[in-house]
Structure 1
Amino acid sequence: MPIDPSEEQNWAERWDELYEALSAEPRRMIISSLLDEPRGRRLPLPDAAESPNQPMDVETLSTLLRHHHLPMLARAGYVRWDDDPFVVQRGPRFEEPAFIIELVTDSIDDLPTPLINNCKIFKDQVTDD
């Protein structure tokens, strides 16, 4: 059975969108923060996006979230967010980036050492185990 080219392009674009969404630390931190919360719970921002790997002042992070990171995640359907109060929650396609984050986290023992040593989050997990 031949593959419909429009479906193949849609499939490839969805993967590209997923990788792009996970390519920035604040976006990964948002997805990771929401993983630990029940569906429907709203988390305060910028707290849910803060990372020990890339510390940033609150004002700068809030601006980047509002104008870049959150719109990208929302367009993909990964999150929903509001500006007042400044909060984020799971979107209808949240399970897609959540799967990747969980897969990496669950495979920490198999990650190359430089990826662990250069990431405070993973290094803390390995130290805690």
Structure 2
Amino acid sequence: MTRRRYQNGKQVIRRWDEVFKAVTAEPRRQLIISLSDAHPDETVPLPESAVNPNVPRDPAVLRQKLYHCHLPMLADHEFITWETEPLVAGRGPRFEEVAVVFEALQSNATDIPESLVFGCQRLEQERQERRSDSVAE
């Protein structure tokens, strides 16, 4: 029993490390959010779906970074699938493991420090909606 718990514990640690590594770059976060908004069987166009609307980037540079860095990393951990022509991404078998991080943040938007909300359209909107709901009650 102890050996099994140890092995399970190591696996859980590895998976959390993979999830947190996946969300350390803005294009990956934006892509995960875009895929969360899409139907589970749909793909999203790239590089458009990996752009923060508040901080637009050069699409050619972003496309290159997606192709050579971000997409392979997410695909290696099975968070996404992707195709090159056209450049699109879809949900991978482990997508929910990264999506849940953003779902938890959105659910708790009113508790997140303002310094982490202001400038993030999604969290700003969620915070506003939750505050409006609590005032209406």
TM-score (norm. length: structure 1): 0.89
Q: What is the match of residue 82 of structure 1? A: 83
Give the Cα separation in 1 of the matches to 2:45 and 2:38.
Answer: 12
Q: What is the match of residue 27 of structure 1? A: 28
Q: What is the match of residue 46 of structure 2? A: 45
Q: Does 1:15 align with 2:13?
A: no
Instruction: Look up the SS of the partner of 1:115 in the other structure.
Output: helix
Identity %: 37
Contact 1:81 1:87 in 2 (8 A): yes
How many residues align? The count is: 129
Q: What is the match of residue 58 of structure 1? A: 59
Give 5+ residue unaligned stretches, structure 2: 133-137
Give the Cα separation in 1 of the matches to 2:57 and 2:12.
Answer: 35
Contact 2:106 2:126 in 1 (8 A): no
- The structure with more helix, counted as a fraction of residues: 2
Bigger CA radius of gyration: 2
Give the Cα separation in 2 of the matches to 1:66 and 1:73.
Answer: 11
Give 5+ residue unaligned stretches, structure 1: none
One-letter amino acid of the structure 2 residue matched with residue 43 of structure 1: V
Contact 2:80 2:95 in 1 (8 A): yes
Q: What is the match of residue 71 of structure 1? A: 72
Change (3 A) 1:109 1:3: farther
